[in-house]
Amino acid sequence: MRDAMGDLDAIAGRHVLVTGAGSGIGASVARRLGRAGARVTLAGRREAPLRAVAADLPDGAAHVVAGFDVTDPQAIADGLAGARAAFGPVSILVNNAGAAETAPFGRTSLAQWQSVIAVDLTSVFLVTQAVLPDLEAGGAGGRIVNIASTAGLVGYRYVSAYCAAKHGVIGLTRSLALELARTGITVNAICPGYTDTPLVREAIAAIIAKTGRTEAEVLAEMTAGNPQRRLVDPDEMAETVAWVVSPGAASINGQAIAVAGGEVMVG
C-alpha cells in the first residue's frame, strides 16, 4: 500500500540513523520513519528518552544507542558498530543533534563558541564521515538530511555561535551534495524556524523568569518573524524529512529547505 507521501513504502526495511532522537524534532522524525517501516537507530546521550521513543515504534523497529556523543569520534564509532550489528549498514542519516546558547557577542566566551560549533557543526562532519562508507557501498538511494535552522539562512541577535554553526551546516550540505551527486546519494538541509520543542520551551521559561513577561507575550515576540504567527510543529519537520528521504525526492539535492511559515524566502 502506498504511503500518503507517495512512495514512502520504499523506505520499509531501510536502516535510518537519527541523532538527537530522544526528543523534539529527532523523536518526531524517528516515529514518522518508523511508521513507514524503516528500522531506526535512535542515537543520543541519555537512554531514558530514547527508550520512550523506541516504545512508540513498531516491535523490532528500533535500536537504542545511548551515550552517543556526536562530538566524540570513538563514541560515534562504538555506536555505529552496535547499530550495524542490529540493522546492517546505514542507508539514511538524519543529523539532528544540536544545542544553542544565547549571549551578546561581546560576552560570548571562547568555551561557549567552541561548544556550540562542536555540537552543531563539527558533529555533522564527524557522524557523516563515519556513516559515508555505508551510504557509498549501498549506492543510489542513500540519503543525508542535516537539520539546520533558519539561523543558517539569516542572522539572529545574541546567538552568533549558533548562526555561524548553522550557516556552516548549510555550506557543508551544499559541498557534499556536489561531491556525491553522481552516486545517487542526496544531501539536504532542513531549516526550521522556532519549533515547539523542549529546547524552545526551556528558552521561553528562562525569558519569563528573567523578564517577568507572560508566556503569551514571549510567544508573540518569538513568533513575530513567522507570518503564520506560530511555532512550527515537530511533526511538520518530520513530514518534510520523510519526503526528502523518499525515492520521489531523488532530484532534491543540496537544498536548504525552510520550514518556517514563510519567515525566510530565498530563491
Name the residues annotated as catalytic: 162
Task: Determine the distance from the C-alpha atom of residue 170 to the mean position of all C-alpha atoms in its chain, rounded to a whole number.
Answer: 12
Nearest Cα to 143, choosing from 101, 206, 186, 202? 186
Single-letter residue type at 244: V
C-alpha–C-alpha distance, residues 28 and 235, integer Å: 6
C-alpha–C-alpha distance, residues 134 and 129, integer Å: 10
Q: In this structure, are residues 168 and 235 in contact, taking their beta carbons and an 8 Å threshold?
A: no
Looking up cell 544531501 gives 187
Which three three-digit cell numbers place residue 262? 514563510
Q: In this structure, are residues 235 and 30 in contact, taking their beta carbons and an 8 Å threshold?
A: no
Q: In this structure, are residues 264 and 154 in contact, taking their beta carbons and an 8 Å threshold?
A: yes
CA atoms within 13 A on the CB side of 19: 30
Please give the span between the terminal C-alpha atoms of the chain, in angstroms, as a whole number.
36
Task: Determine the distance from the C-alpha atom of residue 101 to the mean position of all C-alpha atoms in its chain, rounded to a whole number.
Answer: 17
C-alpha–C-alpha distance, residues 260 and 20, integer Å: 21
